[in-house]
Chains A and B, each alone.
Chain A
Amino acid sequence: MNKNYFEVKRAGINTTFQDQGRGNLYHIGIPFSGAMDNRNFQISNKLVGNELNSPSIEFAYQGPLLKYFGDKINFAITGDVKFVVRKKNNNIVGNCYQSFTLENDDELDIISTNKSVYGYLAVSGEFDIDYQWSSCSVNTKANIGANNGKKIEDAQKIYISKINNNLSDKKLNYTNTKIENIRVIQGTNFDYFSDQGKSFFFEKEFIVSKLSDRMGMRLEGPKIENIVDTNIKSEGLIKGVIQVPADGNPIIMLSDHGTIGGYPKIAVVISADYDKLVQLTPGSKIKFKKVELADAETLFKLYDLETENLISQI
């Protein structure tokens, strides 16, 4: 049996198993899911010597408090996160982007994220969890993925079936940068909005609302007026699409989004800006900046190269 495990003393706010998600299921209504901030997810795995797509634990705002039982294991936390390792005789204040060792009876307290939403915990081993459609990623709305498709809960145990043998210390010099300007490509229903609505969209500030989660980010700001029809015939969505319902408040589709929607699409967030978008906390200010498809493709290449470069430094 698994002799290595965490006992969950405090689950945190929204703590789930995630990998890179599951594709090719939009047509039956199942979104990608997967780690919200893919760069930080991949880096967490590299820091503990795992495959880049290994399951890690994603948490939002407040992370879990975990007591560890078992053989020595390494872990790493990425994002902008405050955490402490409590050992028998001393406490170690943790740093993100650095591997640490846990021994039997140690406690890992992931206290909170700093001015960001998501953080990642990877361990040098394999979590003993179920896969559904070849991914562990948890979608709590549809109860799909590991842990019966549910958040990690207080008092449960998280088993580790296999620990990597060669534990080596790893570190990366990296600081998350915040963005206020979100770059977008015009959406397929851009012409549904009034001239004033269009100019408000690109000129005014929007505030990230509290009603934001893994499915979507609601925004507050000037109302975007629709002059054609506040409904369209329902059609497919992808992450990053910005829909504007009749009340004029934009909603950005995030990783657990509904696969089909019937509100006009004013714009789509470019792939290069997605990881940073999801880290914006409620109350953050956003401004949208228009780019063309060719620019978005170049920006993604640069972002992807930068991610690969960071990973190769570890």
Chain B
Amino acid sequence: MIKNISNLGDAALYCDFGSDVNKEINSRVIRYFKSIQKENIDGINNLTPSYNKLIVSFDLKKKNFQTIKKLIENLNVIDSDELASNKIKIPVCCDEKFSLDIKRLEEKLKINRDKIYQKFFGKEFFCYMTGFIAGMPFLGDLEKEMRANRLETPRVKVPKGSVGLTEQFANVYTFESPGGWNIIGNTPLVIFDGSKENNPNLINPGDKVIFEQITKDQHNNYYE
């Protein structure tokens, strides 16, 4: 099921499941991720599933590329049940002070902002993966007309709660962080709660997400 395994540096395996981004390939990645996680292999110190890749990091003091590669290749991964799924609504305010890249997007996509919002809100997204920063969900898929590249030079600071678009995906910046996505709004909702050691992420791979537009006042008063 893994198309190719190569090395990423000297302390990680780069498992390639294909170049397309779709739910089928992504589900395969997630199944591998869960199987390896269950094996609890000594020396593996991180697993990073993404759309169509899985990175297996290991402690170079204990293992090396060849030994981990053999272990992964010999793993018997069974196609299991469908991935568990929650449905989550995310309120988003698109006031000028939040929609940092809306002008840029209008130019890139050649459609006006009302149309952009119309295509974005109310649509059901699928969570492919979480990461980059703690709890950030990668949600797909945007329609073809809504797909834009990242910023040429990433921002040094994207504000917490920013909702961004790039290519066929939407995301939410769970913290202030550097980043290159086109920002269209901001959510007051807490997407990552680090005080919950077991389940800090509000959105997990396989979940379904719908964005709902709110006003500036609703954003300001969200937790009151």
Contacts and interface: CB of A to CB of B under 8 A. Distances in A.
Interface residues on B, range: 35 or more
A254 interface: no
B121 interface: no
A133 B54 CA distance: 22
21 contacts: A27-B48, A29-B134, A133-B197, A141-B177, A143-B175, A144-B194, A216-B178, A231-B149, A234-B138, A234-B169, A236-B48, A237-B55, A238-B8, A238-B9, A241-B8, A245-B154, A246-B149, A247-B153, A262-B150, A270-B10, A293-B10
B57 A26 contact: yes
A268 B174 CA distance: 27
Contacts of B167: 231, 233
Interface in B184-204: 192, 194, 197, 200-201
Contact of B176 (A141, A233, A262): A141
B45 interface: yes
Interface stretch (B60-68, B92-100, B108-116, B215-223): B60-68
A221 interface: no
B51 A233 contact: yes
A35 B77 CA distance: 36
A147 B166 CA distance: 35
Interface stretch (A3-11, A162-170, A296-304): A296-304
Contacts of B65: 293, 297
Contacts of B10: 185, 268, 270-271, 293, 296-297, 300
A142 B50 contact: no
Interface in A58-111: none
B135 A24 contact: no
Contacts of B156: 211
Interface string A152-193: 000000000000000000000000000000000101100000
B31 to A, nearest CB: 13
B159 to A, nearest CB: 13
Given A230-B149, A236-B53, A265 B132 contact: no
B9 A27 contact: no
A238 B55 contact: yes
Contacts of A149: 194
A28 B131 contact: yes
A57 B192 CA distance: 27
Interface of A: 23-30, 32, 132-133, 141-144, 149, 185, 187-188, 211, 215-216, 230-231, 233-238, 240-241, 245-247, 258-263, 265, 268-271, 293, 296-297, 300, 304
A260 B132 contact: yes
B9 A24 contact: no
B132 to A, nearest CB: 4
B211 interface: no
Given A29-B133, A262-B166, A304-B61, A188 B194 contact: no
Contacts of B52: 233, 235
A142 B194 contact: yes
B46 interface: yes
Contact of A271 (B9, B50, B55, B175): B9
Contacts of A260: 48, 50, 129, 131-132, 136, 138
Nearest to B20: A233
Given A259-B48, A262-B150, A271-B11, 12 more contacts: A32-B46, A141-B133, A143-B194, A235-B52, A235-B55, A236-B49, A246-B150, A247-B152, A259-B131, A271-B60, A296-B10, A304-B60
A238 B11 contact: yes
Q: Which 6 A-B pairs give the minimum distances between C-beta atoms?
A: A236-B48, A268-B9, A236-B55, A23-B45, A296-B10, A29-B131
B5 to A, nearest CB: 11
Nearest to B10: A296
A132 B130 CA distance: 19
A233 B21 contact: yes
B181 to A, nearest CB: 9
Contacts of B178: 215-216, 258
